[in-house]
Amino acid sequence: MTHTILNVQHLSKTVPSTEGELSILSNVSFQLKAGESLAIIGRSGSGKSTLLGLLAGLDLPSSGSVTLAGHQLNTLDEDQRAAVRAAHVGFVFQAFLLLDSLNALENVMLPLELADHPNPQQRARELLIRVGLEKRLKHPVNLLSGGEQQRVALARAFATEPDVLFADEPTGNLDSQTGETITDLLFAMNQELGTTLVLVTHDDQLAARCQHSIRLDAGCQMEFTCN
Amino acid sequence: MQLKLTSLLKLAIKQLLRERRTAELRILFFALVIAVASSSSIGHFSERLQGAMQLSAGEFLAADLVLSSSEALQPTQINTQYSDMLKTAHTLQFASMLATENSLQLASVKAVDDNYPLRGHLRSLRRLGGEEISGGRPQPGEVWVDAELLNSLNLTIGDSVEIGATELTLTRILTYEPDRAGNLLSFTPRAMIHHSDLTAADVLQPGSRVRYRQLWSGDAQTIRQQRQALQDQLLPHQRLEDLEDGNQQVSNALARAASYLNLASLTAILLAGVAVALSANRYARQRFDQAALLRCFGLSRRQTLWLFFTQLLTLACLASLIGTLIGWLTQLALFELLSGLLPDEIPAGSLQPFMAGIITSVVMLAGFALPPLIALGRIPPLRVLRRDLIPVAPATWVLYGSVLVTLTALMWQLNLDMRLTTALLIGGGCAALALGIVLFFSLKSLNFWLAKRNLAWRLSLGHLLRYPLNSVGQVLAFALILLSMALIILLRSELLDNWQAQLPQQAPNHFAINILPSQQPDFSAEIKSISSNVAPLYPVTLGRLTQINGQQASDLFDANARVMRTLQRDLNLTWTHQLPNNNTIVQGTWWQTNDSKHMQVSLEQELAKELGVAVGDQLTFHIAGLDYLAQITSLRTVDWNSMQPNFFVIFNPKDMKTTTHTLMTSFYLPEHSEQQRIDLAKHFPSISILQVDAVLRQLRDILAQVTLAIELILLFVLAAGITVLIAALQSTLTERVQQGALIRALGASRQLLAHTQRNEFALIGALSGLLAWLGCEISSYILYHFTFNLVWQPHIWLAALPLIGALLITSVGMLGTRKVLNSSPLQVLPR
């Protein structure tokens, strides 16, 4: 029987503005079991990225709670949340966020080295081969194409074998064909490693490939569906 | 994340190695290397040069420290706890008659031991007109005499000379005696003998007037300790002398040179500091994403900060090592270049400049790079999703506080005059702030003007106006660079001109004393026929100051007071209608002929201060058995460096008509004029001619060394300035490349882009030059006034600074950012 890895209860986020408190997320609740996948969908400005940030412990809610891998994030300070991220979380970003100063291999090695992995280079090499970049290992990342950069980002995200992978519009910067290839790769690796996947997208086709989806509109949870 | 410290350290170093290709890290590294190389080479060079100069200057005392006394020294003074660590020698000096078969002559006899002199060498001739020999000293049984004595006793080498009860053989003609050069009052001709002949000569009787001198030399620290130990047990009839006392001219030159070298050093470090601050800021900004990512990967705020801090610390250590090595090689090369000019045994120098270099880099990094680095620790991890999130900047007080602490630490390390430098820095800071505000609003007001300009101007100025705060910062930074370079060039030429003016090529190098009034016409005529530069003839008489305002002068002061020396000895007094050339009246007025019933006297300002008297006070002088009551009518400053007869006390001539006196003057004779000097002595046997060539020669040597050092250090500052300029421009390169690519992508020609860049650089350069001009005049005024004691005047050539700034920044800028023009628009667009 699989356990609940992500439990979200009455999550709200407000920010101060010139016209008083502005609600950007209101009363979101759901649960996700280990190995499942969830798409967060909605239009631009609907609060998708805000929700992702709260789920990953990058930000704190104004009210409500997020429990990730048994840790109630809203009761932890920033350093404790960082420790939870280190142990359980991986990320893929729309803008890839690779470090220009490092080559592809070094980018993937970085989280492994941070986790004191015994053989970061070999593991990083295996992952890059897995994503089809065996001929690009030593390439400076700024010379890679968008698709290739996102593959490096995928390899980096799966490097530490996280329990939960958060992906923010992973195909947002890619053409549809490349986006599809990346999506295939993402789901395949997700399957292989049994990772829980939470992705933000405005692409309904991509969302349809996830087991669950949550639709947001102006910060409110409109529906939580099982596909 | 439980990441071990060693793992973090390892990772930091790995990251550093991986990132070695990045421009900002290279610039930061380069700036640190420059700072360390300039500070350690200047530090090392000036330390060794000072050592070398002290060595030459120590010649004036023939030692580093001298205790002179009119009585034999106490054993406790000769054998202090430091004596064993120092080299020592002793001399005795007394007046005695020298006799040959046919004649007698009073001479100043100096008995020396086997170690004398401890600094410098005696120089002598084996025969008149022969080759000058350096080194050696009279051996037992020998006597060396100077040319005057040779002439007056009609001696030749090998003759016997009687001193007291002993007979010695003349073996050399003494031409140079290091510790005699500094003392212009040693008028009687010299005979030098070995100390061991004193007993046989039997000339020293109880009550004889003897000058005992104990000499020490050694490392500076022990000499300082010895001086302190002796100072505490100094008796009233004793006097301690070190380099400071040895020769005022040399110590003045050294003090100015040291001030200049330190200032140059601070300038080079500050310039590099600007580069460090700029490149560290760029380094930090480029790592915002990296820091956010690391936080996502699970690193705590402290670990993230520690990771970057370790990287920079490693970089600083590496830069220190390389900078120190470059610094050491540079000073070695400099000394190789100067080898002909400096003494043979240049002291090796300590490790302190190396340590100082390393400390400089760490302190600079901490002060200038820490604030932007702290910002990295404040990166919210949410930035990975929201790119607009930038860290909260460190509080302003942290920023300025750290810069202030850094500067204080650097100043302390360079032994700069804290009060003055602080005043300069605070003044400079306030001026920069005020000018920055003016500049900010001026830039803003340009918006109106801009609307009517062509596209190139609109684009270039638009860039400046869009970020006025950044632009103001950039202009101020360039202004600081230009100001520093201009100031260093300015001071260099002022100092050199000043020294040149002090020692003109034909400055008098001989003094003539004991000229009888009856000899005056003939002597004047002869001296004018052989010399191109003769000072006026001054009457001289000896007199003692006995009363001040009717009170016994010696009762007014403490027995140990310095002024008691003046009261207990005869002063050289003179009188003249005209104020001597190198004297300036600072209080009261110079007399008009016969304008008072009272007897009038003019006093040198420092002496008046010591005596506590002012214009209007009355002084009583005891001259040739008579008391003279005179009123002070003026106080003067005297240029003691002028090589002219100078006097503490000058009377109005109307009151001195009947006073018995002799005359004195100074004049110039070219080198190798021994024959003219001997002829002069033959024609006027009673007149003493004192040669002070050696003083001038030594002074010129020292000044030549200082001049060369200054020229070379100037090159350093210029090189540092230009490099920092490039570094500063490089720090904005990415933004420029991106903007350039965008403009080109929108269809702008390469030429338009070049125009845009050129206009922007020219404007920044001109504005920086303008600020540098103002800043340079203000800071030079402060420095001249308080540090270098120079007369300040506006410097017209500084008005060229805006043009120089525009040209310099434009050319360096265009060169440094040619990548902007050459890069394809595609290169910066996302792939």
B635, pLDDT greater than 90 = yes
Q: What is the pLDDT of residues B757-803, one digit of tens each?
A: 888 889 889 988 998 898 888 888 887 777 666 677 888 888 999 99
A124, pLDDT greater than 50 = yes
Between B225 and B335, name the one with better pLDDT: B225
Q: Which of B197, B151, B143, B149 is nearest to B172 (CA)?
A: B143
Q: Which residues of chain A have a CB within 8 Å of the CB of B2?
A: 83
State mean pLDDT over A117-128: 90
The ipTM of this complex is: 0.81
Between B745 and A35, name the one with better pLDDT: A35
Backbone angles phi, psi at B604, to 5 degrees: -70, 140
Between A148 and B280, name the one with better pLDDT: A148
Q: What is the 8-class DSSP label of residue B367?
A: I
State mean pLDDT over A207-215: 89
How high is the pLDDT of residue A190? 86
**Looking at the complex, does the CB of residue A93 fall below 8 Å from at least one CB of chain B?**
yes
Is B385 in contact with A79 (Cβ distance < 8 A)? Answer: no
How high is the pLDDT of residue B830? 44
Q: What is the pLDDT of residues B553-577, one digit of tens each?
A: 888 887 666 677 678 777 889 999 8
> Are the C-beta atoms of B141 and B156 separated by less than 8 Å?
no
Range with the poorest average pLDDT among A63-72, B132-141, B145-154: B145-154
Three-state DSSP at B396 gives helix
Tell which of B7, B26, B286, B297 to mutate to test the A interface (max A CBs under 10 Å). Answer: B297
**Looking at the complex, does the CB of residue A59 fall below 8 Å from at least one CB of chain B?**
yes
User: CB-based contacts of A18: which residues, under 8 Å, 6+ apart?
Assistant: none
Select from B21, B381, B386 the Cβ nearest to the Cβ of A49.
B386
Tell which of A84, A116, A174, A178 to mutate to test the B interface (max B CBs under 10 Å). Answer: A116
Is B300 in contact with A114 (Cβ distance < 8 A)? Answer: no
B518, pLDDT greater than 70 = yes
B831, pLDDT greater than 60 = no
- Taking the C-alpha atoms of residue B464 and residue B458, their distance in angstroms, rounded to an integer, is 10
> Are the C-beta atoms of B310 and B9 separated by less than 8 Å?
yes
Return the axis-axis angle of helices B396-413 and B418-450, rounded to nearest 10°.
Answer: 140
> Are the C-beta atoms of B704 and B341 separated by less than 8 Å?
yes
Q: Does B580 sit behind a cis peptide bond, omega within 30 degrees of 0 on the bond before it? A: no
- Taking the C-alpha atoms of residue B609 and residue B632, their distance in angstroms, rounded to an integer, is 13
Q: Which of A166, A136, A169 is nearest to A151 (CA)?
A: A136
Q: For the whole prediction, is pTM greater than 0.80?
A: no
Between B619 and B829, name the one with better pLDDT: B619
Q: Distance between alpha carbon B92 and the CA centroid of its chain, in Å? A: 35
- Mean of all residue pLDDT scores within chain B: 79
Tokens 């004191």 correspond to A116
State mean pLDDT over A133-139: 88
Q: What is the pLDDT of residues B689-701, one digit of tens each?
A: 777 766 666 666 6
- Taking the C-alpha atoms of residue A10 and residue B36, their distance in angstroms, rounded to an integer, is 59
How high is the pLDDT of residue B487? 80
Q: Which residues of chain B have a CB within 8 Å of the CB of A97?
A: 289, 292-293, 384
Q: What percent of chain B has pLDDT over 70?
A: 79
Range with the poorest average pLDDT among B274-283, B453-462, B812-821: B453-462
How high is the pLDDT of residue B807? 92
Q: Distance between alpha carbon B677 and the CA centroid of its chain, in Å? A: 36
Categorize the per-residue pLDDT at A20 as very low, low, confident or very high, splitting at 50, 70 and 90: confident
Q: Distance between alpha carbon B508 and the CA centroid of its chain, in Å? A: 25
Categorize the per-residue pLDDT at B504 as very low, low, confident or very high, splitting at 50, 70 and 90: low
Q: Which residues of chain B have a CB within 8 Å of the CB of A86?
A: 1, 297-299
Q: Which of A187, A79, A190 is nearest to B295 (CA)?
A: A79
Distance from CA of A219 to the nearest CA of B (A): 16
Tell which of A108, A114, A161 to mutate to test the B interface (max B CBs under 10 Å). Answer: A114
- Taking the C-alpha atoms of residue B500 and residue B497, their distance in angstroms, rounded to an integer, is 5
The neighbouring-strand residues paired with A103 are: A140
B344, pLDDT greater than 70 = no
Between B360 and B622, name the one with better pLDDT: B622
Helix H or strand E encompassing B238: strand B238-242
- Taking the C-alpha atoms of residue A73 and residue B191, their distance in angstroms, rounded to an integer, is 98
Between B49 and A25, name the one with better pLDDT: A25
Q: What is the 8-class DSSP label of residue B644?
A: S
**Looking at the complex, does the CB of residue B1 fall below 8 Å from at least one CB of chain A?**
yes
* Geometric angle at alpha carbon B576, from B575 and B579, rounded to 5°: 125
B259, pLDDT greater than 50 = yes
How high is the pLDDT of residue B339? 65
Three-state DSSP at B753 gives helix
Categorize the per-residue pLDDT at B341 as very low, low, confident or very high, splitting at 50, 70 and 90: low
How high is the pLDDT of residue B400? 57
Q: What is the DSSP string of B252-266?
A: HHHHHHHHHHHHHHH
The neighbouring-strand residues paired with A21 are: A16
How high is the pLDDT of residue B244? 60
Distance from CA of A225 to the nearest CA of B (A): 25
Indicate the pairing of strand A220-226 with strand A212-217.
antiparallel
- Taking the C-alpha atoms of residue B716 and residue B711, their distance in angstroms, rounded to an integer, is 9
Q: Which residues of chain A have a CB within 8 Å of the CB of B23?
A: none
How high is the pLDDT of residue B197? 92
- Cα Rg of chain A (Å, integer): 17
Rounded to whole angstroms, what are the CA distances from A76 to A84, B243, B583? 9, 70, 82
Categorize the per-residue pLDDT at B182 as very low, low, confident or very high, splitting at 50, 70 and 90: very low
Spell out a b/e string for B663-681, using b for 16 or more CB atoms within 10 Å of the CB, else e: bbbbbbbeeebbebbbebb
How high is the pLDDT of residue B186? 45
Between B690 and B637, name the one with better pLDDT: B637
Q: Which of A135, A204, A192 is nearest to A158 (CA)?
A: A192
Helix H or strand E encompassing B143: strand B142-146
Locate the DSSP E strands across B618-732: 618-623, 626-638, 649-651, 662-667, 688-691
- Hey, what are A210's tokens? 């996830």
Indicate the pairing of strand B104-112 with strand B190-194.
parallel
Tokens 């692409």 correspond to A203
Query: Which amino acid does the sequence have at B40?
Result: S
How high is the pLDDT of residue B403? 65
Q: What is the pLDDT of residues A32-54, one digit of tens each?
A: 998 899 999 888 888 888 899 89
Distance from CA of B742 to the nearest CA of A (A): 18
Is A82 in contact with B295 (Cβ distance < 8 A)? Answer: yes
Is B299 in contact with A78 (Cβ distance < 8 A)? Answer: no
B632, pLDDT greater than 90 = yes
> Are the C-beta atoms of B410 and B266 separated by less than 8 Å?
yes
* Spans of all domains in chain B: 62-241, 418-507+694-831, 535-667
